[in-house]
Structure 1
Amino acid sequence: MQRSTRERIVSEALRLFAERGYAATSVAEIEAASGLSPGAGGLYRHFRSKEEVLAAAVREHITRTSKQVSATFQHADDVRARPLIDRLRLAATLGMGKMREEADLIRVLFRDLDKFPNLIAEMREGIVNPLYDMIGKWLAGQPEMAGVEADWDAIGLALGGSIVNYWLASDALHEPPQRVDEERFINGWATLALGLAGQPAQAV
């Protein structure tokens, strides 16, 4: 499906902000990358400022994340028949996929969003906290976890945070920590989470 001019501006601006930094990216560069005449003011027919473009990118990602969280719980029963270890691997795989999907926004977050505290708050409440909350609720809802007394918010944060840390370290260092590839990390993550249900580690 062909993207609208507004969608191209938001997408290309976020890519440039991630690559070069917010301050180092000019409006003319965003226009050129979006297929507009650079310096002709085409961006301002859709946005009042470069900051408004960044805010639009954050809010579009928040909307998408909200839909993904809802879809995860709607389709939870589709995978419930699989062994727990497979469900855990799938959860970690989806988490890594989400990090890749949000890569540009994450890079901008760690590089530039301190200049925009209102957007940090929106990111925290619209993307970060809902995702950690989803992990905790999803784990608590697995049949094998029935009767397990645990602080699921904290566990969701710990397990979700390990995925975030693995991706951030790999992205920053240009190779995975300890050279543990993604498949090994996911298997290790699932084995660790398996212990919450009091089940023995399984060979992978």
Structure 2
Amino acid sequence: MTRSTRERIIDEALRLFAERGYSATSVAEIEAAAGLSPGAGGLYRHFKSKYEVLAAAMHEHAARTRSQVAESLAQLDTMETASTALDDRLAHLCRAGLAKVREESELTRVFFRDLSQFPELVAVVREGLLQPMFDAITTWFRAQPEYARADLDWNGIGAVLGGAVVHYRLFQETVGESPGHTEKDQFVAAWVRLAVGLVPSPAPVS
């Protein structure tokens, strides 16, 4: 698919912000990366400033995440709970979360390094990208029949299990290797085992 000039500017700016930092990236560098003549002002035909490019990237990624989370939940809902083992459903959920965090690796690097100076954009990412991921996990668990009798703090559990997924990918991004030298399949298997442990024991037969 051919990207528009505006899309190229956003994509290349986010890549450069992730690699070099927001302050260290110039408008001319963004223009060159987007295929425009550096220093000729091509960026300003689409955005008023470098900050506006950053804000557009945050808003558009957040909007895309909300849409993707809704689609992912719909796809998970189509899995027949009667014929698909809980372990398989959990593994699918965990892998989907890992894939999403990896997809947003550039944005998360910018978020943790540069956005403290832009609290209004922190709120955009928090409410549009991070919280929907945690909310999706909580919603999914509550919808599974195996957990129907579990009297648990699902918001807390969603924070723990969702946080593990986010941390796994962020650790790889920042350190360059997996936490505890754990391969992805090992991580998913451990995550599933912990989640299965939340299933309440069968009620005693009277």
- Name the SS for the 1:148 alignment partner: coil
Q: Which residue of 2 aligns with 1:155?
A: 157
Q: Which residue of 1 aligns with 2:186?
A: 184
Cα deviations by residue, 1:165-184 (Å, 9 ceiling, x for unpaired): 11111211111111111110
Q: Which residue of 2 aligns with 1:194?
A: 196
Q: What TM-score does the superposition give when structure 2 sets the normalisation length?
A: 0.94
Q: Which residue of 1 aligns with 2:41?
A: 41
What residue identity is the alignment partner of 1:55? A
Q: Which residue of 1 aligns with 2:59?
A: 59
Matches within 5 A, 1:6-155: 6-79=6-79, 80=81, 81-155=83-157
Partners in 2 of 1:99 and 1:69 — Cα distance?
Answer: 12
Provide the aligned C-alpha RMSD in A. 1.0
What residue identity is the alignment partner of 2:73? F
Partners in 2 of 1:184 and 1:150 — Cα distance?
Answer: 26
Partners in 2 of 1:59 and 1:106 — Cα distance?
Answer: 13
> 1:35 offset after TM fit, Å?
0.3
What residue identity is the alignment partner of 1:96? L
Partners in 2 of 1:20 and 1:37 — Cα distance?
Answer: 20
Cα deviations by residue, 1:62-110 (Å, 9 ceiling, x for unpaired): 1111111211232233223310001111111001100111000000001
Cα deviations by residue, 1:140-199 (Å, 9 ceiling, x for unpaired): 111111111111111111100011111111211111111111110011001100111147
Aligned residues: 199
Greater than 3 Å deviation, 4+ residue runs? none
Matched, 1:165 2:167: yes
Q: What TM-score does the superposition give when structure 1 sets the normalisation length?
A: 0.95
Identity of aligned residues (%): 53
Unmatched segments (≥5 aa) in structure 1: 200-204
What residue identity is the alignment partner of 1:152? W
Worse overlay, 104-113 or 162-171 = 162-171
Partners in 1 of 2:155 and 2:55 — Cα distance?
Answer: 28
What residue identity is the alignment partner of 2:51? E
Worse overlay, 171-180 or 68-77 = 68-77
- Name the SS for the 1:47 alignment partner: coil
